[in-house]
Chain A
Amino acid sequence: MIEELAGPIALVGYGLAAIGPGIGIGIVVGNAIQAMARQPEAAGMARTTMFLGIAFTEALALIGFVLFFIA
Chain B
Amino acid sequence: MESVILAASECDVEAEIICAPSDVLELFEFTKPLFSIGGFDFTRTVFLIFLAMFIVLAILYYGLRKGEKVPSKFGAAVESLVTFVRDDIAIGIIGPEGIKYAPYLLTVFTFVIVGNLFEVTPLINFPITSRMAIPAFIAVVTWVIFVIVGFKKNGLHYLTDLVWPKSVPLALRWLVGIIEFVSTFVLRPITLAVRLFANLVAGHLMLSLLLASGYIFVTAIPDVGLKGFVGVAWFVFGLGIYLFEIVVAVLQAYIITLLSAVYVQTSVHPEH
- Are A and B interaction partners? yes
Using a CB–CB cutoff of 8 Å, the interface residues on chain A facing chain B are: 6-8, 11, 44, 48, 51-52, 55-56, 58-59, 62-63, 65-66
CB nearest neighbor in A for B187: A59
**Chain B's nearest CB lies how many Å from the CB of A56?**
7
Supposing A48-B262, A51-B258, A52-B262 touch, asked if A62 and B4 sit within 8 A by C-beta, the answer is no
Q: How many residues of B contact A (CB 8 A)?
A: 17
- Interface SS majority for chain B: helix
Q: How far is the CA of A27 from the CA of B122 in the complex (A)?
A: 37
Name the one of B1, B183, B190 contacting A66, with C-beta atoms under 8 angstroms: B190
Q: How far is the CA of A52 from the CA of B262 in the complex (A)?
A: 7
Question: Contact at A66–B258, with CB atoms within 8 Å?
Answer: no
Measured CB to CB, the nearest residue on chain A to B93 is A48
Q: Are A51 and B259 in contact (CB under 8 A)?
A: yes
Residues of B within 8 A of A59 (CB): 183, 187, 190-191
Query: Min CB distance, A67 to chain B, in Å?
Result: 11
Q: A48-B258, A55-B195 are in contact. Are A62 and B190 (CB under 8 A)?
A: yes
Contact at B255–A51, with CB atoms within 8 Å?
Answer: yes
| A/B pair count, beta carbons within 8 Å | 42
- Which residues of B come within 8 Å of A, CB atoms? 1, 3-4, 92-93, 183, 187, 190-192, 194-195, 198, 255, 258-259, 262
Measured CA separation A48–B259 after assembly (Å):
9
Which are the 5 A-B pairs with shortest beta-carbon distances?
A62-B194, A59-B191, A62-B191, A65-B198, A59-B187
Q: Which residues of B contact A48 (CB under 8 A)?
A: 93, 258, 262
Sample of 5 A–B contacts (CB below 8 Å)? A6-B3, A62-B191, A62-B195, A63-B191, A66-B190
Q: In the complex, what's the smallest C-beta–C-beta distance from A31 to chain B, in angstroms?
A: 18
| Closest partner residue, chain A, to B198 (CB atom) | A65
CB–CB A55/B3 < 8 A? no
- Given the complex, which residues of A lie within 8 Å of B258, measured CB to CB? 48, 51
B92 touches A55 (CB 8 A): no
- From the candidates A7, A11, A52, A63, name the one contacting B259 in the complex (CB within 8 A): A52
Contacts of A66 in B (CB 8 A): 190, 194
Q: Say whether, besides A7-B4, A8-B1, A48-B93, A55 and B259 are in contact (CB < 8 Å).
A: yes
Which residues of chain B come closer than 8 Å to A55, judged between CB atoms? 191-192, 195, 255, 259, 262
Contact residues in B for A63 (Cβ distance below 8 Å):
187, 190-191, 194
User: Closest Cβ of chain B: how far from A28's Cβ, in Å?
Assistant: 14
Known: A63-B190, A65-B198. 17 other contacts (CB 8 A): A7-B3, A8-B1, A11-B4, A44-B92, A48-B93, A48-B258, A51-B255, A51-B258, A52-B259, A52-B262, A55-B191, A55-B262, A59-B190, A62-B191, A62-B194, A62-B195, A66-B190
A49 CB to nearest chain B CB (Å): 9
A23–chain B nearest beta-carbon distance, Å? 18
Q: Are A56 and B195 in contact (CB under 8 A)?
A: no
Say yes or no: A65-B4 contact (C-beta < 8 A), given A44-B92, A56-B183.
no
Closest beta carbon of chain A to B84's beta carbon, Å: 13
Which residues does chain A contribute within 8 Å of B3, judged by CB atoms?
Answer: 6-7
Smallest CB-CB separation from A62: which chain B residue? B194
Write out the residue numbers on chain B whose beta carbons fall within 8 Å of the beta carbon of A11. Answer: 4
| Shortest Cβ distance from residue B101 to the other chain A in the assembled complex, whole angstroms | 15
